[in-house]
Structure formats: C-alpha cells, structure tokens
Chain A
Amino acid sequence: MKILVAIKRVVDFNVRVQVKPDGSGVATDGVKMSINPFDEIAIEEALRIKEAGKADEVIVVTIGTNDAQQQLRTALAMGADRAILIESNSEIQSLKAATSLLMIAKKEQAGLVIMGKQAIDDDNNQTPQMLATLWNRPQATSVSKLEINGNSALATREVDAGLETIEINLPAVISTDLRLNEPRFVKLPDIMKAKRKPLDVMAIDETLAGFNDNELSIENYESPQPRQKGIMVENVDELVAQLKERGLV
C-alpha cells in the first residue's frame, strides 16, 4: 500500500502574525516558515504505518511555491520515500487543493491519504473532507488513534462528546489531531540522505483538468478587537467580592 501525505508550508506556530497596516494581508516577509504541525503528525503516522510493515511507500506532496521544497525535504529527512511539489505561485483555496490532491491520489493509487485536520494559517479544516468527497471514499477526521487492519482501518476521532471510533474501508482519507503521535526529530545524516531522494515538480494546472473554481474573495484583513484591560486583585477575598459585584457567583 502507498500512503500519500499532504503537507502545507505555513508560518511557524510560535510566530505571532501581524496584519499589514493597509489590510491587504498578514506580514510574512522574513518570518520563519514550517510544516503545518498537524501535517507533521500526518507524516509521522504514515512512517509508523510503513515501519509496522503495513505500507510500502510514503509519498509526501505539497501545493505551493518553489520555497515549499524546504518543507518537502524536511519530510524526506523524517523518512518519507519521495516528494511531489505541485507548484502554484498564488494562494489556493480548499476546493482547488482537494481537486489537485485527488488527481495525485488517483495517479499514485494511494491506499491512504493522511493530512492535518487544519492548517494553522487559514484554520479552514476543509481539504481532507473535500478530498474524501470528491474521491467518493471514507473520511476519518480529527483522528487520535489509527489501526490499519488489511483493507480497513479503525479510527478514533476526537469529537465534542469524547472519543468516537469508526471503521472505514480503504482507500480512505485521514485527518490528524494533536494526540495521534509525537513527530520524530530529524537527525543530520537524514537531512543529507534526504537531498538524494526524488522530488518531482509539476505545475498545478497539470492537476486541474476541467476544474471550475468558485473562489471566495477576501476583501480585507484586520487585527482582532482587543479585550479591555482588566484589574489585578491581591487575595481571594477581593476576588470573591469582584465576582459577587458582577453577579457571577
């Protein structure tokens, strides 16, 4: 079985982004970029499935500018076998991403497609579900435990009420939640080795035959409304008095 892992290059999760003064976007020049943390978990899970002898090959794919090769090389250094860059110089929205990934999933005859449940830049949480739908295959989203059993899998999902377990037939799409695993650290020799692993580049248009995009238009970016400055109290008596005064207890 081949596993396709889809990743996204995003502003590193430790960076607190700022909206540009003219409202045209967020400032990303010179900001540290990383693999979306949920996607890193997806890579790790794919590698563990392969290491358990349940998959033959882990292919990592991303859609983005040429700079996203850095993130693909990191994934290769973690242990992925080969990489595909679908090059796009403009920002793309979820439906286009899912359509493009569908073409790759079919071409590679992937048994599993794994990716993060959301990217921490746009926080959309859509692409995995859209891919599953366009592919007409099962999805398991927000997965915190995955067990592959031949042609099916048991997936435990983090849902509002607790932990939901579903059984899905493969091929299928998995989106990862935080507690699925802890991604491994990359070692220097692996970075050297990763440089020799295959990385194919194709233009996004090659993956979008017949696709008719209904893009949403982003009119403006702004900073969130700050909360009003609060007060500090010295002890529990003052705290309780404040809560009572506000009618909260």
Chain B
Amino acid sequence: MSKILILAQHDGNSVNQGTSKALTAAQQIDGASIDLVIFADDVSEIAAKAAKLAGVNTVHAVTTTNENWKLAQGIAAKFAELASDYSHVFGPSATFGKDVMPCVAALLGQNQISDIMQVIDATTFKRPIYAGNAVITVKSNHDKIVATIRTASFKTGDMTSGSASIENHSIDNAQTDTKFVSLQTGNSERPDLQTASKVIAGGRGLGSEENFELMYNLADKIGAATGASRAAVDAGYCPNEMQVGQTGKIIAPDLYMSFGISGAIQHLTGIKDAGTIVAINKDGDAPIYEVADIGLVGDLFKIVPELMEKI
C-alpha cells in the first residue's frame, strides 16, 4: 500500500492551495494513506489549518527556530527523517517545493520526478519536458518516490472539512549557515496569480511600466489576477512574480486574457491548461493565436478602454 507524505506550503497565515493540489494528485493513487508535514517557528495554529484538508490522516507539525522553516537547508534533514516511513514524498511544484524537494530526494538517495502532470499508477507518472513540447512517462522501480506536483494539472480539493490528527516534532540542531533576511512582495490586493480563476496578462506590447496600469485596471474591473510575459518583466514593466511560463508560474485559470503577448513557446507552456485563452495582439500572425480560444487582432490601447466600458 502507498503511504504518502506531502510537504505543506504556507505563508505563516494560510495553507497554500498548491498543497491541496498535491493532495489531489496523491489521492489518485489507489488506496493511498496520506499525511502532511508542515514546518513553522510557531507551528500550532497553521498546523490546525492544515489538518482541515480533507483526506489527510496525520499532520506532522515541526517547530523550527530563526525562520528556518523558510529555508531548504533548515528543514530538509528533518523532512527526510520523517519520510523514512513513507513510500512517496510529494511537494507542490512552486518555488518552495522546487527548492526543498530535491534536497529530500538526495538525502533519500533518489532522483526526483519533477512536475508530475498525470498519475498513471503508484509508480508511473507523466511529466512535461522541453517546455512542454514533449511529455514523458516515468516509472520508478525503487522503494521511495520523491516528486513535485505540477499544480496547474490538479484541482484544489476540500480544505475546510478535514480532521487530521496532529503529531508534534521539533528540530534539535538547527543549521546556521543559511539565514533568511527578507521577503519583498508586491503587496497586491488582487487575487493570487497561481490560484486565480481569471488572469489578465500583459506583454512587451504594453510598452512601458505606466501603460501596464491598463492591465491592473482591467484586472480590478473583473476581479482578476495580473500576469506578464518574460519580455514584460525583463523590460521592467512589472515585477518578477508576475512572470508566467516555463521558468515562471504555470497557471490554469478559467479565463486567461493576454494583451500584447506574442506567445513564445516558453510562455505558452505556462498557460496551456487555462480554460479559455483570449489573445489580443496587433500582429495577427503571433503564435499566441495558435493556442487562443478567442482571438482579436487590434490595438490594445484602443481595445482595453473599450473593454473597460463594455465588460
């Protein structure tokens, strides 16, 4: 029988939906028994929230010190120790999981299966390579499977009605070679890009940081998160956490509206699980139209104000 341990991702206040998506993937393995592990300096409150994820048996709540819970080197050893009783160790494929999970894999002497997009059976999975230009079926013949779960491929489950038991742990010899210094966030009131049901995204076609306001205004009008292409981030029109694509965020909103994005393959890989993709660009030959469900060719500086009025 599969026994699965999932890394819970959180920001100190709430459990990230990516955790629930990793749980959804784990639940697709027949007869799996699933536990969570969560790390924090002040762990009891957040562990109680994690215990509400339906389908979890036990939450391992690990108390850390000096903000070590934010650092891969701060938690990997304890995580690997707890993982010794499990057949599978999963984490959401967000920046936190990407940072931590390979460390756990190395401590367990395994290669990691990165970005699982489909569960075939307990030991066989599909994952994208080459920016999503190919999909491989990977099988592990070993006693432990360490994997990250591509969150855009799995749905968020019930995060409120669970009643897992909580088991307390602590880290005795905290490492001191890595220190958390600061986190600078966009401090946005808008929905979170990774979990939003609607996303308004801008590209190089916006032309400047000032013009990017058009995206924020339209997003606010329809209650959407904002995203961007790499070109827009590189040009300084918007902050890095808005980047969508192979090396940025992989998202799957119900509605993705892109403005002035040509659609490099590296960008398209980040949006191809979206429900409806709308492309607005002045160049009708742009590759974004190959994946768009609804395309409109024209000047975004005319189209956006008109949309603001009519939507």
A residues in contact (CB < 8 Å) with B? 11, 13, 16-19, 26, 38, 93-95, 98, 117-118, 120-130, 132-134, 137-139, 141-142, 144, 154, 157-169, 172, 177-179, 212, 214-224, 227-228, 230-240, 242-243, 246, 248-249
Question: CA–CA, A126 to B182, complex, Å?
Answer: 24
List residues of chain A with CB within 8 A of the CB of B230.
178
**Which one, A26, A159, A216, A243, contacts B138 given CB within 8 A?**
A216
Question: CA–CA, A80 to B88, complex, Å?
Answer: 41
List residues of chain A with CB within 8 A of the CB of B184.
162-165
In the complex formed, the residue of B with least CB distance to A156 is B184
In the complex formed, the residue of B with least CB distance to A242 is B294
CB distance B296 to A235 under 8 Å?
Answer: yes
Is B98's CB within 8 Å of the partner chain A?
A: yes
Is B85's CB within 8 Å of the partner chain A?
A: no
Question: CA–CA, A239 to B308, complex, Å?
Answer: 12
Is B5's CB within 8 Å of the partner chain A?
A: no
Stretch of B57-65, B123-131, B204-212 lying at the A interface: B123-131
Q: Do A217 and B303 form a contact, CB below 8 Å, given A160-B241, A162-B183, A222-B134? A: no
Question: CA–CA, A133 to B102, complex, Å?
Answer: 9
Question: CA–CA, A16 to B239, complex, Å?
Answer: 28
List residues of chain A with CB within 8 A of the CB of B177.
137-138, 168-169, 172
Is B133's CB within 8 Å of the partner chain A?
A: yes
Question: CA–CA, A69 to B142, complex, Å?
Answer: 34
Query: How far in angstroms is the closest Cβ of chain A from B39?
Result: 16
Please name 7 further chain A to chain B contacts, defined as beta carbons within 8 Å, in addition to the given A123-B115, A138-B177, A144-B240, sorted by A numbering.
A17-B130, A26-B130, A95-B111, A130-B106, A162-B185, A236-B303, A243-B294
Query: How far in angstroms is the closest Cβ of chain B from A14?
Result: 9
List residues of chain A with CB within 8 A of the CB of B191.
none
Question: CA–CA, A243 to B115, complex, Å?
Answer: 31
CB distance A249 to B222 under 8 Å?
Answer: yes
List residues of chain A with CB within 8 A of the CB of B115.
123
Question: CA–CA, A160 to B195, complex, Å?
Answer: 12
Is B99's CB within 8 Å of the partner chain A?
A: yes
List residues of chain B with CB within 8 A of the CB of A243.
255, 276, 278, 294, 311
CB distance B112 to A124 under 8 Å?
Answer: yes
In the complex formed, the residue of B with least CB distance to A121 is B130
List residues of chain B with CB within 8 A of the CB of A17.
130, 133-134
CB distance B114 to A26 under 8 Å?
Answer: no
CB distance A221 to B107 under 8 Å?
Answer: no
Question: CA–CA, A165 to B185, complex, Å?
Answer: 11
Q: Do A154 and B295 form a contact, CB below 8 Å, given A160-B241, A236-B307? A: no
CB distance A223 to B135 under 8 Å?
Answer: yes
Question: CA–CA, A237 to B306, complex, Å?
Answer: 9
List residues of chain A with CB within 8 A of the CB of B276.
243, 246, 248
Question: CA–CA, A134 to B71, complex, Å?
Answer: 16
Question: CA–CA, A75 to B99, complex, Å?
Answer: 27
Is B258's CB within 8 Å of the partner chain A?
A: no
**Interface residue tally of chain B, by bracket?**
35 or more
Question: CA–CA, A166 to B179, complex, Å?
Answer: 6
In the complex formed, the residue of A with least CB distance to B236 is A179
Stretch of B23-31, B155-163, B164-172, B246-254 lying at the A interface: B246-254
CB distance B247 to A218 under 8 Å?
Answer: no
**Which one, A179, A214, A228, contacts B234 given CB within 8 A?**
A179
CB distance A126 to B296 under 8 Å?
Answer: no
CB distance A161 to B99 under 8 Å?
Answer: no
List residues of chain B with CB within 8 A of the CB of A217.
138-141
Q: Do A126 and B112 form a contact, CB below 8 Å, given A95-B105, A168-B178? A: yes
CB distance A224 to B128 under 8 Å?
Answer: yes
List residues of chain B with CB within 8 A of the CB of A223.
133-135
Question: CA–CA, A243 to B114, complex, Å?
Answer: 35
Is B1's CB within 8 Å of the partner chain A?
A: no
Query: How far in angstroms is the closest Cβ of chain B from A167?
Result: 4
The 10 closest A-B pairs by CB, nearest first: A129-B102, A162-B185, A126-B102, A133-B106, A130-B106, A230-B293, A165-B181, A138-B178, A220-B137, A159-B95
CB distance A164 to B136 under 8 Å?
Answer: no
List residues of chain A with CB within 8 A of the CB of B181.
154, 165-167
List residues of chain B with CB within 8 A of the CB of A233.
294-296
| 19 contacting pairs across A/B (C-beta < 8 A) | A16-B265, A19-B134, A26-B129, A94-B111, A94-B112, A129-B72, A129-B99, A138-B73, A139-B72, A139-B99, A160-B241, A163-B183, A163-B184, A215-B111, A217-B141, A219-B124, A230-B292, A235-B298, A240-B307
CB distance A94 to B138 under 8 Å?
Answer: no
Question: CA–CA, A218 to B294, complex, Å?
Answer: 36
